[in-house]
Structure formats: C-alpha cells, structure tokens
C-alpha cells in the first residue's frame, strides 16, 4: 500500500456529488463453456422487471435472451458464480420465487452476506478464499467492495467483478468508488489486482465498463 492511497477522497471518488458529466454504467455477465460442455455463468445481472435491481438499474436485462441466442437453456447451466451479492449481479437468479438455473451449483464466498440464502438452499455452494469451482475455473477472494467479493479466473482471462468500475481506475487504481464497503481495503485489492493482471498480461473482463474486455 503506497502513500498515494491517502489522497483526498473528494478529488478521486467516483460517483461523488462533485463529479461532472454523466457516467453511464454498463452491466455484463459472462458465460464460460469448456470442451466437456461444462457451463458456468458469472453473475446473473439486473434481472426482469420487478427484480431486486429494478429500483435503480435498467431492467429488463437481456441475460435469458442472450443465453438462448447461444443455444444455452437455463437448465444447461452447471455452475453459477456470484462475484458478490449486489442486486445488479444476482437479480436474474430467482424469478417468480423459483431458481432460474435449477441444476446449477451457486458459488458464493462464505464471508458475503447472501439475500438469496432462503430461495437457493441446496443449490448454494459456499467457498472460503481461493477455490477451483468448475474444471479450470477459479474464484479468488478479493474483499473490499464487499466482504466476500471474489474474482473469477480461467486460462489467461480474469473476470474482475466490482474490483473495478470505470476505465480510469486502470490508469490510476487509487481512484475510489463511493459504494465500496471498505474503501481502503478495496483500494488495496484494486492496486494488487491491476498490478498482477499487468504483470501476467491477462485479458480483463469487466462488469461495468462500456467495452467489456481489456487486454492488459
């Protein structure tokens, strides 16, 4: 952790009232398929009209249509991974009281508060720290934005969830986001992750950037 972390918040707090201009948030989920047809979904997006995210996010989301366009039925999904339990990342999970991905294990860090615990019950798969949760697919605990935030990695590819919200945080990872639970820890996690992604020249897949993929 360097001295730049102590930079005053007001200059650098994404989403603070002093910000000028409009910042349009995009919402991305990711589908992973391996050669053995194991299907993994990372986050379930903003969900339909009336979903938990609908009070603030642009519903309806297009997840089910996008999956159908790829020939993937909800019942085909083997594993759902939640980067964290903010409503724009889980609102496509339970619709009309029923789990949408009824055959999937739903992976969440034990440290993460879980508003879907009652609805998902036996489908839940709690992990602590780093774990391989599907063939070749790893979650890594990256706390700060939320206590149980996790990123997902497979091959040379990293889905960073809400460790990053805006491309400017790649230029300067000390720039903070107002809705990080633990701002100092989130900044440290972001600095460490961006440094490692650069060192390993990984392909970054973002949750909220206008362009989903960034080659580092």
Residue ranges that bind Zn ion, judged by CB under 5 A: 86, 88, 162
Looking at beta carbons, which pairs linking 49-52 to residues 24 or more positions away fall under 8 Å?
51/87, 51/91, 51/92, 51/95, 52/87, 52/90, 52/91, 52/115
Q: To the nearest whole angstrom, how small is the minimum distance from the Cβ of residue 180 to Zn ion?
A: 8
The whole-angstrom separation of Cα 108 and Cα 7 is 33
First to last CA, the chain: 21
Residue facing Zn ion at closest CB distance: 86
Q: To the nearest whole angstrom, how small is the minimum distance from the Cβ of residue 166 to Zn ion?
A: 11
Q: Which is nearer to Zn ion, 9 or 56 (CB)?
A: 56
Q: Which is nearer to Zn ion, 40 or 142 (CB)?
A: 142
Q: Which is nearer to Zn ion, 77 or 160 (CB)?
A: 160
Both tokens of 213, joined, read 């993929």
Q: To the nearest whole angstrom, how small is the minimum distance from the Cβ of residue 110 to Zn ion?
A: 18
For residues 4 and 174, is the Cβ–Cβ distance under 8 A?
A: yes
Q: To the nearest whole angstrom, how small is the minimum distance from the Cβ of residue 113 to Zn ion?
A: 12
| Cβ atoms within 10 Å, residue 147 | 17
Q: To the nearest whole angstrom, how small is the minimum distance from the Cβ of residue 9 to Zn ion?
A: 18
For residues 119 and 97, is the Cβ–Cβ distance under 8 A?
A: yes
Q: Which is nearer to Zn ion, 113 or 155 (CB)?
A: 113
Q: To the nearest whole angstrom, how small is the minimum distance from the Cβ of residue 87 to Zn ion?
A: 9
Cβ burial, residue 34 (10 Å; 0-12/13-18/19+): middle
The whole-angstrom separation of Cα 103 and Cα 72 is 13
Q: Which is nearer to Zn ion, 88 or 112 (CB)?
A: 88
Q: Which is nearer to Zn ion, 153 or 162 (CB)?
A: 162
């Amino acid at each position: 952790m360097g001295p730049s972390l102590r930079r005053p918040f007001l200059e650098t707090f994404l989403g603070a009232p002093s910000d000028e201009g409009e910042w349009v948030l995009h919402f991305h989920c990711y589908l992973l398929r391996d050669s053995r047809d194991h299907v993994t979904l990372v986050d379930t997006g903003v969900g339909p009209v009336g979903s938990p995210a609908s009070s603030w996010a642009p519903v309806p989301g297009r997840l089910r249509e996008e999956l159908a366009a790829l020939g993937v039925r909800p019942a085909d999904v083997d594993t759902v991974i939640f980067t964290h339990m903010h409503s724009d990342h889980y609102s496509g999970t339970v619709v009309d009281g029923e789990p949408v991905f009824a055959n999937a294990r739903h992976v969440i860090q034990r440290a993460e508060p879980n508003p879907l615990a009652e609805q998902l019950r036996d489908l839940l798969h709690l992990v602590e720290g780093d774990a391989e949760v599907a063939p070749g697919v790893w979650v890594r605990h990256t706390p700060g934005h939320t206590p149980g935030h996790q990123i997902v990695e497979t091959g040379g590819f990293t889905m960073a969830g809400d460790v990053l919200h805006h491309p400017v945080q790649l230029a300067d990872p000390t720039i903070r986001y107002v809705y990080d639970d633990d701002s100092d820890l989130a900044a440290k996690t972001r600095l460490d992750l961006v440094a490692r992604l650069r060192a390993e020249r990984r392909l970054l897949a973002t949750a909220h950037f206008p362009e989903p993929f960034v080659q580092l």
